[in-house]
Amino acid sequence: MTRAFFHFSRLAVLAALACTVTLALGGTAAASSRSRQAGAGPVMVVGYSSESALRRAVAQSGSRVVRRIRALHVAVLRTPPAAARVLDGLPGIRYSEQPVLRRQLVDPALAPAPVIGGAYEWQYGAAREYLVPASVLHAASAITIAVIDTGADVSAPDLAAKAPTTWSVRNNSSDVTDYYGHGTFVSSLAAGSTTNGEGVAGFGGDAKLLAVQASAPDGTFTDVDESAAIVYAVDHGAKIINMSFGGPMSSPAEQSAIAYAAAHGVLLVAAAGNSGQSGNQPSYPAALLQPLGSNGVGGIGLAVAASNLSGARASFSNYGSYISLAAPGENVFGALSSSADPNYWPRQSLPGSVSGSYGYGSGTSYSSPEVAGAAALVWAANPGLRATDVAGILKQSASGHGGWNENTGYGILDAAAAVASAQGTSVAVPTVSLGGTRSGLRVSLTWSSAGAISYRLLVTRDGGSPQIVVGSTTATTTSYKLDGGHSYSFTVTASDTSGLTVTSTPYTITLPYSAVKLDLRTSPAKSRQIRLSSLFAPESKGVARAGRRLVLESFDGHAWHRFAAASTGKTGVATWTLRLRRGSYRIRSSYAGADDLAPATSRAVTLRVR
């Protein structure tokens, strides 16, 4: 198998870190000469106890309100340089600090070819999404997943099919054009349509999509943008919020927004971070949802690490005590924004696709929305669950079977097991059946599996290594020539559109190969006549002796030649009466063998006829 690869986009990360924070203007502004004079000052984020306390602080500091999140009692002020240091000491101001930068947790490094031996969207099969009942996928339409990100290309086929609700907290409009590209990819994984027959399949079934743009066109945003987006999503009906971004520090504004969502029964899911090879510094808000030191226990949301094709932690993925679980995040397949730079997001040809753009990407950014989508299915399976119940089910049903480790938390996401747990049922795994009929040394084999698009037939002879009889076929029958005296074990693997492969129960055939002994005897008859008898004696007692064809052969000094044949009777004896000319003869009897019997020859006897 060709090894899929990824690399970290250092320039993109450095650019995001170095970019100057720019806040979209919103809310109310104090129309005074003092506030206008403050236009060139620093931006400060303040928490206030009341509206009157904010008004007093603005007046006393000569600041201007440029943005407000009323539900959190958080405001962004443009302050004169000298006043920025005194805000903390003003009555009714709980804190004041500079905005905290947030960036997308992604390393696109889109692979140039599909995963060898699997489906393009291999992550769908790896998380066992294909085993979720159709009824649950449809019931998820009652759930809204909010994706807070760089926006979304709502014309992408899998997003357009969902007719998503959109809002930008940066420009206070429904225009969420995704020039950066990250949000479209994330949204397609969380809530891309599973029924439009195009592109990719999201993990959330028919769940509704709310795309909340929190970033500038270059992908940068702050904790205030994040907090405003969380409040908007909660206030507009989101049951699940995905946050595929993070940074090394938290802030009071972020913590207030997280608490606001939790208080409203919303499940928060966040990417754990991509610094596993560069310091492994905890990432926020993920470390707020599954607190540091918790070892996966409790928390108010889910921090998601990335796994690779083999089911291990992706090398770039963060690890540690705040990891809840993991999901596929290395070279996963998703939809691309038509407005994003194709040099940064290379397009992957997708056979059968007639519209949209697609590609591969790596990062915990892409693991998180898979879990968010699966959470919608769990909630759809049991609407009476609380957000913490859904989180607990996703953790306990993951591949770790209740055991936790610092690399993948409770293990790899298992969507089918999570849904089954929520319903109190078990996972119905598809099967492939294989049968056959034998005629002599040829066997006819037939197989089938619901939903399969390709099969592969293998055979093992006498317990040896499996050999491919038919590879990657849509056929469901074939015939195979056997050799007597050997045992055969046939298996069929069936693959569906999600890349799921199931293997049949072996179909075995054993051809017992009994050895045979022949004894040739002579006795004189009339003049120049010789009576010969050959006893057919198989070692296996259950083998019939009657009706076996035995042949007499004579040796001419160079080779043996057949000259007479007879069938055995009930006792296994064949007889011949021969009239021979004068001379010396060397004669033996032989048996050609059968499906269950080995060939045999008798000892040679010498005859002299006078």
Q: In what order do the strands lie in the sheet with 573-579?
A: 516-524, 529-538, 573-579
Residues 285, 291, 296, 298, CA torsion sign: negative
- Contacts made by residues 131-136, CB under 8 angstroms, sequence distance 24+: 131/415, 131/416, 131/427, 131/428, 131/429, 131/430, 131/500, 132/205, 132/377, 132/415, 132/416, 132/419, 133/419, 133/428, 136/205, 136/377, 136/380, 136/381, 136/419, 136/423
Residues 284, 288, 294, 300, CA torsion sign: negative
What is the token pair recorded at 33? Answer: 């000469």
| Gyration radius of the chain's alpha carbons | 38
Which helix (H) or strand (E) segment holds residue 243: the answer is strand 240-243
Q: In what order do the strands lie in the sheet with 240-243?
A: 165-168, 208-213, 144-149, 240-243, 267-271, 301-307, 325-328
Residue 415: strand, helix, or coil: helix
d(CA 269, CA 264): 15
567 burial via Cβ count (<10 Å: 0-12, 13-18, 19+): exposed
Which helix (H) or strand (E) segment holds residue 58: the answer is helix 51-61
Q: How far is CA 558 from CA 133, 555, 590, in A?
A: 75, 7, 18
Please give the distance of CA 445 from its chain centroid, rounded to a whole number.
31
The residues that are catalytic are 149, 182, 365
Residue 515 — φ and ψ, nearest 5°? Answer: -75, 155
Q: How far is CA 245 from CA 49, 103, 317, 370, 600, in A?
A: 29, 5, 13, 14, 78
Angle between the N-to-C axes of helices 364-381 and 387-396, in degrees from 0 to 180, rounded to the nearest 10? 110
Token pair 């009576």 is found at 531
Q: Taking a C-beta distance cutoff of 8 angstroms, is the pair 494, 502 a contact? A: yes
Token pair 């990432």 is found at 283
d(CA 335, CA 358): 4
Token pair 């747990």 is found at 421
d(CA 545, CA 534): 12
End-to-end CA distance of the chain: 77
CB count within 10 Å of CB 537 equals 15
d(CA 285, CA 303): 9
- Residue 451 is given by DSSP the state T
d(CA 543, CA 539): 8
Angle between the N-to-C axes of helices 387-396 and 415-423, in degrees from 0 to 180, rounded to the nearest 10? 120
Closest CA to 366 of 105, 151, 164: 105
